[in-house]
Amino acid sequence: MESVYETDSSVYRPGMTWTRISRATLPCPPSALWPSLADVTRWPGWDPDLTGAEPHGPAAVGTTGFLVPSGAVRGRVHSRVAEPFTITSLVQDREIAIRQPIPLGAMDLALRLSAVGGGTEFVQEITVTGPLRAVMVAVIGGDVVKHFDVKCARLTELATAQAEHDA
């Protein structure tokens, strides 16, 4: 099955909100992708926008932790001033969502899996709210969308490698 990466940049919510939804069909079942999504410590292995992830406990709604963005400057700044993220949704083999406070707002990131004929639809939804959203989109939000195809390729590689290991 060929992977298809698509970003829907037409999503707009009025007010102080910026939202982008990206979707791809990946050639593996949700259960093969889930371990890489559910374990936040594994995110830097497939997400080029992160160099570190330190949850403050096992994945569960309400668990907090720190993400370290890639990039020398933004990684250092974020590590020094950012508040912890919080897992806001966790549904086995289906969804994990986090809320990362940003100055005067928040960045919400939801990663969703749905079984489709012979594979999985992977959806990434990012929403940035607050009066500084344009700045935060420029600093990190835009890259989260821009690197979606890389994330999909890496998640597929990890799921395939694990399936081959388990066989």
CATH of the domain at 114: 3.30.530.20
What is the pTM (predicted TM-score) of this model? 0.85
pLDDT score, position 99: 95
Residue 63's CB is within 10 A of a number of other CB atoms, namely 18
Residue 105's CB is within 10 A of a number of other CB atoms, namely 19
pLDDT score, position 78: 62
How many domains is the chain built from? 1
CA distance 166 to 66: 31
CA distance 124 to 83: 22
Q: How far is the first Cα of the chain from the last one, in angstroms, to the nearest whole number? A: 20
pLDDT score, position 74: 64
The domain of 52 spans: 4-166
CA distance 28 to 128: 30
pLDDT score, position 10: 40
Instruction: Look at residue 1 and give its three-state secondary structure.
Output: coil
pLDDT score, position 15: 60
Half-sphere exposure of 26 (CA within 13 A, CB side): 31
Give Dmax (Cα) for the chain: 51
> CA geometry: angle at 62 spanning 23 and 53, to 5°?
65
pLDDT score, position 138: 63
Which among 149, 157, 95, 115 has a CA at the least distance from the CA of 29? 115
Consecutive 10-residue averages of pLDDT for the chain (167 residues)? 42 64 94 95 93 94 92 69 91 96 87 95 90 64 76 94 72
CA distance 134 to 74: 16
pLDDT score, position 154: 95
Answer for the pair 45, 55: CB distance below 8 angstroms, yes or no.
no
